[in-house]
Amino acid sequence: MFKRMLAHGLGGMVVLAMAATPATAKGPDAEQYRDALTLRDRWQYLTRDVAFPANWVGKTHDFVFRKTVAGGFAFVRQNADTGTSRPAFDQAAVADALGKATGEHYSALKLPFDDFHYDADGRAILFDLHYLPWRCSLAGEGCAPVERPGRPKGFGVVRDLRVPADNMPHVSPDGRWEALVQGFNLVLRPAGSGAATVLSRDGTEGNFYDPETIRWSPDSEKIIVDRVRPGFPRYVNRVLSSPDDQLQPGMREQLYPKPGDAIDIDQPVLFRVSPDGTAQQIVVDDTLFPNPHQLTDMHWRADSRSFAFEYTRRGHQQAKIIEVDAETGAARTVISESADTFIWQDRGYWHDVGGKGDELVWLSERDGWAHLYLYDGRTGTVKNQITRGDWPVRQVVRVDDEKRRIWFAASGMNEGEDPYFVHYYRINFDGTGLTPLTPAQASHDVAFSGDMKYYVDTYSRVDLPNVSELHRTRDGALVRTIARGDISRLLAAGYRFPKPFVAKGRDGKTDIWGLIVRPRDFDPNRKYPVIENIYAGPHGSFVPKTFWPFGYHSGGDKVIGMQEQADMGFIVVQIDGMGTANRSKAFQDVAWKNLADSGFPDRILWHEAAAAKYPWYDIADGVGIYGGSAGGQSTASALLFHSDFYTVGVAYAGCYDNRMDKISWNEQWLGWPVDASYLRSSDVANAGRLKGNLLMIFGEQDSNVDPSSSLQLVDALIKAHKDFDLLEVPGGEHTTGRSTGPILYAERRQFDFFVRHLRHEQTPDWNRLPDILPAP
């Protein structure tokens, strides 16, 4: 029989605690907790001149960047030609205006956004605040959220039909006509006139023309528009138990399509417009692109004789470039790519050379690595492979059609270097002239000016503070050093660089890379229990490669969060196992229909290799693990499927059953239709396998992962008579406990959990020490 307690902690958080293993020895005292939990606040403003990646201002030679200064961050605008610098905007005025608009207090050097851009006339700045777009006037007119016109589209596949579409008239390039939708059909009228001609007669509520997809041809003689057969509008409903503005709870809902749901089906329709305003309607035959997940990047060719788009088949195993003849409406496949596993949509890239369709640049992983190919757009054949080698193209930055050159980012090209370091290169269309632009042995972020005369290169490593340099694009020559990070104060305060470590993976030959963070009072003659910070999503790689150690990124802490945990008497590590991205196709394919794998066979071997090399690396009694989102799922999976190795876990906001999670992410890796692979990876379906100690933390208002995913695992664990701990944060979002909301409380609970269950030590009686820690 289990013992259950329901209590309210700081901030009104609900805590469900199952019977815990009693601790024996006395652990860290309250002052040690205070020291660890306030480390981020004490350290993050100790650096100077740590510059972050730059952005160029329109077509000018001005660029803006953020850098650390005493007390916070300054946004700087610098001219590449002269080197003169000035503030990018009045930070004090923006802080004041934003505070008035939000009711929060902001200081000039601690603004709540990391980057921004100017609006079209330079009279305002635009940025994101709490996932929403904002605008602040630079002319004293205040700040306000930016309204997004049109219908929201749940994870890119289902329109919210309860929200009116943005039905502004689309004016033809020659200014004669306006196209819009009335009564589900496309209509045309002379610009500025109210008299409209109905161009289509087949639009209905269940098969309507979408005004937000209207596109005129450059010659003003043709229109393409999507006719939409709506999918299933699934809404997730969440109870807001503790509103700030009322006593009684409220409800929130969110359009949230899930794996297997019927999605919107878009059908391109072509209209050929006559001089008198009538039009011929041509429905494009969809035989070549049935069952689309999405039709994207639909655009007219420069000569108006055809249009093209990319088709991704549902299930993510086929992608095509489709071209449609504007005279006949006949569609043809220009490029077709298929995979036995998945085609990673976010990595996809194509470029229509000259906008004419004669040639296309296409990214493919057909040879096992992400590379660029030049296609003949008329015959659909490969003219030549542009890039090749055992390394992946990470990003195409710029294509010069006239000079037939491509600037791109890649990693893994340099022998003997961390294969995740990003470098930038130039290459010709025919694959010749490969030229490296970023020689420093570090990970780089490059921004080119609009005219390609200059580029700003910002680079760093976990043990090298950010360096920002201005270069001339023509020959790569250094124009000037913009900023060089000074971390002397941080080092004097006790900061130590994390330690990279490499071991062989499950195949005995592939290098698996990770980081080791040790306590600040590290003693090599002691033994330390080990905790892994996990994020194993197939959509990226997650071990930090650049210097900036503060804050959070998807799924897990960066270095300071790991340091805080380590200072409680642990070794804390982060590892990129197989199934993650930015290596070979085979490396990432491990995740296909196999998310429960999470790279654990590689991770366990990595831990064992570290333990064999370092006497202080103690895994004899098991390894702890924590992570958020997909990392929360992996944390629970560790205790379900590898409980002989992982014995204690803290799981934040996990998607514990992928059928409950967002459609786009899960169908990408587990496929469509929904099959047994979803159940095999489900922590809920395998809850009865739990061994060890599990603490689950999630936010009641999580808009990324349905919070019912956590509660369904709770239900399954209770039915399986499994003991565990639970902390639900009323009003909390997806990152609650990691970067937003009552972070100190959740972190302290995490620290407590590992101290009690991995060190087997007592923790302070926090109910008797109410003032020892800052309020959440």
pLDDT in tens, 327-373: 999 999 999 999 999 999 888 999 999 999 999 999 999 999 999 99
> In degrees rounded to 5, what are phi and psi of residue 428?
-85, 160
Q: Identify the band that residue 11 occupies on the pLDDT scale cut at 50, 70 and 90.
A: very low
Cis peptide bond N-terminal to 673, omega within 30? yes
Q: Identify the band that residue 19 occupies on the pLDDT scale cut at 50, 70 and 90.
A: very low
Q: Are residues 564 and 676 in the same domain?
A: yes
Residue 718 tokens read as 């209770």
What per-residue confidence (pLDDT) applies to 772?
64
Tokens 């005279």 belong to residue: 327
The contacts of residue 339 (CB under 8 Å, 6+ apart) are 317, 318, 365
Q: Are residues 66 and 182 in the same domain?
A: no
Q: Are residues 138 and 157 in the same domain?
A: no
Q: Identify the band that residue 8 occupies on the pLDDT scale cut at 50, 70 and 90.
A: very low
The contacts of residue 119 (CB under 8 Å, 6+ apart) are 125, 126, 135
467 in any annotated domain: no
What per-residue confidence (pLDDT) applies to 25?
85
Q: What proportions of the chain, in percent to the nearest 5, are helix, strand and coil? A: 15, 35, 45
3-state secondary structure of 282: strand
Q: Are residues 32 and 79 in the same domain?
A: no
551 contacts 562 by C-beta, under 8 angstroms:
no
Tell me: the pLDDT tens digits for 38-92? 998 899 899 999 999 999 999 999 999 999 999 999 999 999 999 999 999 999 9
What per-residue confidence (pLDDT) applies to 89?
98
- Please compute the mean of the pLDDT values over residues 221-238 and round it to a whole number: 98
Prediction pTM value: 0.95
User: What is the Cα–Cα distance from 667 to 644, expressed in whole angstroms?
Assistant: 31
User: What is the Cα–Cα distance from 228 to 408, expressed in whole angstroms?
Assistant: 36
- Please compute the mean of the pLDDT values over residues 217-245 and round it to a whole number: 97
- Please compute the mean of the pLDDT values over residues 279-307 and round it to a whole number: 96
What per-residue confidence (pLDDT) applies to 18?
45
Tokens 């008035």 belong to residue: 100
Give me the residues paired with residue 553 across strands: 556
What per-residue confidence (pLDDT) applies to 35?
93
The contacts of residue 670 (CB under 8 Å, 6+ apart) are 259, 593, 595, 658, 677, 678, 681
Tell me: the pLDDT tens digits for 698-739? 999 999 999 999 999 999 999 999 999 999 999 999 988 887
The 3-state secondary structure of 181-247, one letter per residue: EECCEEEEEECCCCCCEECCCCCECCEEECHHHCEECCCCCEEEEEEEECCCCCEEEEEECCCCCCC
The contacts of residue 526 (CB under 8 Å, 6+ apart) are 616
What per-residue confidence (pLDDT) applies to 603?
98
Say if residue 553's pLDDT is above 70. no
Say if residue 555's pLDDT is above 60. no
Angle between helices 30-37 and 743-757 (to 10 degrees): 130
Q: Identify the band that residue 9 occupies on the pLDDT scale cut at 50, 70 and 90.
A: very low
Residue ranges of alpha helices (H) inside 698-742 are 708-719
296 contacts 310 by C-beta, under 8 angstroms:
yes
Q: Are residues 85 and 27 in the same domain?
A: no
22 contacts 453 by C-beta, under 8 angstroms:
no
Q: Are residues 104 and 198 in the same domain?
A: no
605 in any annotated domain: yes
Q: Are residues 139 and 279 in the same domain?
A: no
Residue after which a domain boundary falls, among 130, 147, 164:
147
DSSP 48: B
411 in any annotated domain: no
What per-residue confidence (pLDDT) applies to 131?
79
Residue after which a domain boundary falls, among 94, 120, 147:
147
CATH number of the domain to which 340 belongs: 2.140.10.30
Residue 445 tokens read as 């972020």
Element (H, E) at 641: helix 630-641
Q: Which amino acid is present at 61?
A: H
Q: Are residues 236 and 137 in the same domain?
A: no
675 in any annotated domain: yes
Q: Which amino acid is present at 451?
A: D
Say if residue 206's pLDDT is above 80. yes
User: What is the Cα–Cα distance from 334 to 356, expressed in whole angstroms?
Assistant: 13
Tell me what the pLDDT averaged over the chain comes to: 94
Residue 95 tokens read as 């802080």
Say if residue 557's pLDDT is above 70. no
| Euclidean distance between the first and the last CA atom of the chain, given in angstroms as a whole number | 34
Rg (CA), the chain: 28
User: What is the Cα–Cα distance from 417 to 438, expressed in whole angstroms?
Assistant: 13
Q: Which amino acid is present at 294?
A: Q
134 in any annotated domain: yes
Residue 99 tokens read as 């505070």
What per-residue confidence (pLDDT) applies to 768?
83
What per-residue confidence (pLDDT) applies to 558?
80
Structural domain of 130:
55-147
Q: Are residues 131 and 174 in the same domain?
A: no
Q: Are residues 545 and 636 in the same domain?
A: yes
436 in any annotated domain: no
Angstrom CA distances, 390 to 342, 508, 571, stand at 20, 18, 33
Write the Ramachandran bin of 189: left for phi over 0, alpha for psi from -120 to 50, otherwise beta: beta
Q: Identify the band that residue 140 occupies on the pLDDT scale cut at 50, 70 and 90.
A: very high
Q: Which of 7-11, 288-292, 568-572, 610-614 shows the lowest mean pLDDT across its residues? A: 7-11
**Nearest Cα to Cα of residue 653 among 619, 690, 620, 702:** 702
Tell me: the pLDDT tens digits for 86-97? 999 999 999 999
Tokens 């890796």 belong to residue: 669
What per-residue confidence (pLDDT) applies to 775?
60
Q: Are residues 199 and 60 in the same domain?
A: no
Cα dihedral 546, 550, 554, 557 sign: positive
Tell me: the pLDDT tens digits for 305-323? 999 999 999 999 999 999 9
Say if residue 210's pLDDT is above 70. yes
Q: Which of 31-40, 163-172, 452-461 shows the lowest mean pLDDT across its residues? A: 31-40
User: What is the Cα–Cα distance from 461 to 463, expressed in whole angstroms?
Assistant: 5
Q: Which amino acid is present at 586?
A: A
Angstrom CA distances, 19 to 625, 693, 694, 721, stand at 20, 10, 11, 12
240 in any annotated domain: yes
CATH number of the domain to which 706 belongs: 3.40.50.1820
Residue 399 tokens read as 């294509």
**Nearest Cα to Cα of residue 634 among 682, 593, 602:** 682
Greatest extent of the chain over all pairs of C-alpha atoms, in Å: 89
User: What is the Cα–Cα distance from 259 to 282, expressed in whole angstroms?
Assistant: 33
Residue 736 tokens read as 């609650």
Degrees, nearest 5: CA angle 317-323-328: 135
What per-residue confidence (pLDDT) applies to 214?
98
Residue after which a domain boundary falls, among 147, 173, 191:
147
Q: Are residues 60 and 14 in the same domain?
A: no
What per-residue confidence (pLDDT) applies to 152?
94
Into how many domains does the chain fold?
Answer: 3
Q: Identify the band that residue 741 occupies on the pLDDT scale cut at 50, 70 and 90.
A: low
Give me the residues paired with residue 376 across strands: 359
3-state secondary structure of 610: helix
Annotate 118-139 with DSSP letters as a single string: E-TTSSEEEEEETTEEEEEESS
Give me the residues paired with residue 117 across strands: 126
193 in any annotated domain: yes
